[in-house]
Structure formats: structure tokens, C-alpha cells
């Protein structure tokens, strides 16, 4: 059924449909309406779940870690400084291989204090061992939450479903809310290999030595390094599992596409804009304008940021004249994190082949600075003419 609602409600409905057992969250703008909505579902009995109010984001994720360890399907959500406050537990959840799903409603981080959108918060969590998915509209938000539970539980890796604060979280648009029966057909109840059980007590993630050890049964058990290696290995193979999730989803719900990237008019394009989230949809409007001017441009949305779809991106971008990476975050002291990752992928797959595109970086929309479509069009037009700068170019800056 199609409804018109905001992005936070789309996320909440996804959580409702996934029959999540435990929700623990601390309100922070612009995530607040999402957790409020979930607490209403629980209060009204519409959702059979424990809603555990906590005193901080750190505690919210700690509750999810405990509940997930006990075999519950768990959910939390946060933004910006809340995510940063969670950081220690974020790393823990990944090392513990718990399939927690968390919505990150992207917002700028302080200082200075700012409640508006950019993507510095989730990008700063890039190396924590969580899968990161980025959404461009409300349909992608609700669908991503549903896919995320399936994928997370399949690969035992937690997932951040990231969507732009306000631009998506507070904006209303139509989207389809899938039937409960279809979601149930897609997603079985969570059955972990081991769940905390008084009859089979276990210590989880206690001090784990640098070297391997004999366990109580006399079997050779992992050391810290093996456990971390396996996280990396299975993060990489989760790309394949994500493709399986996408196909399964498409079979049941009748929509879906490329699981990792979302190209628009890329096939014959000479220049391609690349980005994460709603910005890549706005860029489609600029692409349409420039196409009418005869400039062959396209736009590529990156839906999975971790694991990074290096091969798919290199394949899609090979032979292009230029790639322009638009980012609402950066790695201070160098450039946007996405552009660095992308260049690394291009080097890995295309070095020496003579089909390596030139890469430029544009930083914009920091702290909710307006992103005018005209400015995007102008930036893309200029970048398609010639390389503007080796350094990231900031647009919308009034310095």
C-alpha cells in the first residue's frame, strides 16, 4: 500500500514489519521522530517488542548488544554526536558479530553544534566493521531496513542504514509499505548459532589473547587476530550475499536493482558524478539539464559504502573521461573519504590499462548548507570541461 509519510516513518515501518524484539534508543535530532514512532507502536501493542529507554546512546547500543547476544532481533537509531558517543560499542558490536541494525539519520557533528544534514557522522564510522548502506529516498529506506536484517543475520555483521537528516528524515513523499506476509516470507525469525542460555553458559568476548589457545574441549580456538581476520574476510564476501539479498527481495517484492551501485545514464556518459544518498538523486536533475546541452554526463549512487563495491565501481567507471565525487563529509587533512576509496579501487582494477578516468572531488552541503540544483549543474558542467583542481573544490562556500 502506498502512503505519504516522512523518512523516519518509513524506517519505523520497516522495523515494525521486521518484527524486531528489542529496541533501545536515545532521542537525538533528526532521528527523534523515528524512535518516538517506535515507542508508540510498542505502547499501543501494535508491535510486540521491548522498548528499553536508556540514558545515552552508549547504553542504547550496549542494550542491543546484550539483547542480540541473547538471541533477540534488535534495533537502534541515532545521529551525529549520538553515534560518536556510541563509538566504543559500535566497534564492539562488529567484533562480537551481532546482526544489529541501526539507522543513522545523517547529521553534522559538533563543534560547532549543528543539527542539519551532512554525512560526517557515519563516514567517521567507516572502519568499525559495520556494513553501511545509503538510501536516496523513502522507498529505499524501508526496503533497506528489511534487506538489512536478512543480510546482517546471514553474515553475522551489524548494519548501519544511513539516510540524510531532514532532507529524507523530515520530508514527505509517497512510498510502498510492503505486506506483512511478504516480509515474513522474506525474513525468517532470528535464530543465531548461539544465544545466551543459563543451561549452556558461556563467556563472550572476554580477554582474547594475541595467540590461539586450546578451549575447554581441547579444540584450537581463535586468537584475537583470527577473529578480526574473519570479520574482514566475511565483510568482503558479504558483497556476494548482498547480491543474493537483492535478488531474493526482488523476487518477493518485485522491485530492486543493482545491490551496490545505482547508475543513472551512465552507459554512454563521458563524465560521471558519484555520491552517497539523496544527493545522487538531486544530481539526476542536473544530469538531465546537461544532457539537453549535449554534455554526456551520468550519476552513480553508491548504495554500499562498506564493504566497498570496488570491482563494480571500477567496472562501471572504466574508460570514462572523468569522475566527479560529490561528498558531504571529508577526511580532514586530505580529501573526501569516498573519493580516496574510489581512487584506490580505480588504481587496483585499472592501473596500466589506459582506461583510468580523471578524478575530482567536490565538497558541499556541510552542516546543512543549501545544495542548490543550479549549483550542482554548474559544478558538473565545469568539471566536465576540464579538471578544476587537484584539491577538493568546495561549492556553496561563502568565504
Site string for another protein, 136-175 (x = CB under 8 A): --------------------x---------xxx-xxxxx-
DSSP letter at 208? Answer: -
Residue 45 neighbours by CB under 8 Å, 6+ apart:
none
Phi/psi region, residue 284 (left: phi>0; alpha: psi -120 to 50; beta: rest), is: alpha
Q: Which of 181, 370, 386, 399 binds another protein (CB under 8 A)?
A: 370
Residue number, 87 or 170, with CB nearest to another protein: 170
Residue 277: other Cβ atoms inside 10 A: 26
Number of residues that bind another protein (CB under 8 A): 54
74-78/101-106 β-pairing: parallel
Nearest to 102 by CA among 11, 232, 206: 11
Smallest distance, Å, CB 335 to another protein?
25
Identity of the residue, 185 or 230, whose beta carbon is nearer to another protein in the bound complex:
230
368 near another protein, rule: CB under 8 A: yes
Binding status of residue 397 toward another protein by CB under 8 A? no
- d(C-alpha 132, C-alpha 260), whole Å: 11
Contact 320, 271 (CB under 8 A): yes
How far apart CA 238 and CA 231 sit, in angstroms, is 10
Within residues 348-367, the interface with another protein by CB under 8 A covers none
Distance CA 302, CA 27 (A): 28
Closest CB 171 distance from another protein, rounded Å: 4
CB of 202 to another protein, least distance (A): 5
Among 55, 198, 199, 200, interactor with another protein by CB under 8 A: 200
What residues make contact with another protein under the rule CB under 8 A?
Answer: 2, 4, 30, 95-97, 115-116, 156, 166-168, 170-174, 193-194, 200-206, 208, 212-217, 219-224, 226-227, 230-231, 234, 278, 281-282, 284-285, 368, 370-373
Amino acid at each position: 500500500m502506498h502512503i505519504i509519510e516522512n523518512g523516519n516513518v518509513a524506517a519505523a515501518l520497516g522495523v515494525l514489519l521486521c518484527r524486531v524484539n528489542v529496541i533501545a534508543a536515545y532521542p537525538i535530532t533528526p532521528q527523534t521522530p523515528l524512535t518516538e514512532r517506535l515507542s508508540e507502536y510498542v505502547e499501543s501493542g501494535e508491535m510486540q517488542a521491548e522498548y528499553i529507554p536508556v540514558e545515552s546512546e552508549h547504553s542504547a547500543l550496549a542494550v542491543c548488544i546484550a539483547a542480540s547476544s541473547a538471541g533477540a532481533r534488535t534495533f537502534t537509531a541515532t545521529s551525529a554526536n549520538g553515534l560518536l558517543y556510541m563509538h566504543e560499542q559500535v566497534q564492539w558490536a562488529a567484533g562480537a558479530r551481532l546482526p544489529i541494525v541501526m539507522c543513522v539519520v545523517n547529521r553534522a557533528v559538533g563543534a560547532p553544534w549543528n543539527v542539519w544534514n551532512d554525512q560526517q557522522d557515519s563516514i567517521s564510522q567507516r572502519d568499525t566493521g559495520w556494513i553501511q548502506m545509503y538510501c536516496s529516498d523513502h522507498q529505499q529506506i524501508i526496503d533497506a531496513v528489511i534487506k538489512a536484517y536478512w543480510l546482517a543475520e546471514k553474515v553475522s555483521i551489524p548494519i548501519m542504514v544511513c539516510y540524510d537528516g531532514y532532507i529524507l528524515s523530515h520530508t514527505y513523499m509517497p512510498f510502498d509499505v510492503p505486506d506483512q506476509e511478504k516480509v515474513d516470507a522474506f525474513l525468517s525469525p532470528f535464530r543465531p548459532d548461539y544465544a545466551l542460555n543459563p543451561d549452556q553458559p558461556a563467556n563472550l568476548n572476554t580477554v582474547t589473547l594475541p595467540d590461539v589457545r586450546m578451549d575447554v574441549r581441547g579444540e584450537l580456538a581463535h586468537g584475537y587476530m583470527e577473529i578480526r581476520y574473519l570479520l574482514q574476510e566475511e565483510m568482503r564476501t558479504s558483497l556476494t550475499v548482498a547480491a543474493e539479498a537483492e535478488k531474493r527481495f526482488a523476487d518477493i517484492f518485485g522491485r530492486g536493482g543493482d545491490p551496490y551501485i545505482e547508475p543513472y545514464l551512465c552507459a554512454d556518459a563521458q563524465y560521471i558524478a558519484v555520491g552517497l544518498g539523496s544527493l545522487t538523486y538531486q544530481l539526476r536533475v542536473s544530469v538531465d539539464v546537461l544532457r539537453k546541452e549535449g554534455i554526456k554526463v551520468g550519476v552513480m549512487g553508491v548504495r554500499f559504502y562498506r564493504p566497498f563495491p570496488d570491482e563494480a565501481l571500477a567496472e562501471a567507471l572504466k574508460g570514462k573521461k572523468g569522475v566527479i565525487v560529490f561528498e558531504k563529509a571529508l577526511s580532514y587533512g586530505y580529501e573526501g573519504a569516498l573519493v580516496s576509496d574510489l581512487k584506490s579501487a580505480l588504481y587496483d582494477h585499472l592501473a596500466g590499462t589506459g582506461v583510468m578516468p580523471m578524478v575530482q572531488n567536490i565538497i558541499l552541503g556541510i552542516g546543512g548548507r543549501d545544495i542548490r540544483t543550479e549549483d550542482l549543474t554548474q559544478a558538473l558542467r565545469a568539471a566536465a570541461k576540464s579538471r578544476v583542481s587537484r584539491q577538493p573544490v568546495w561549492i556553496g562556500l561563502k568565504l
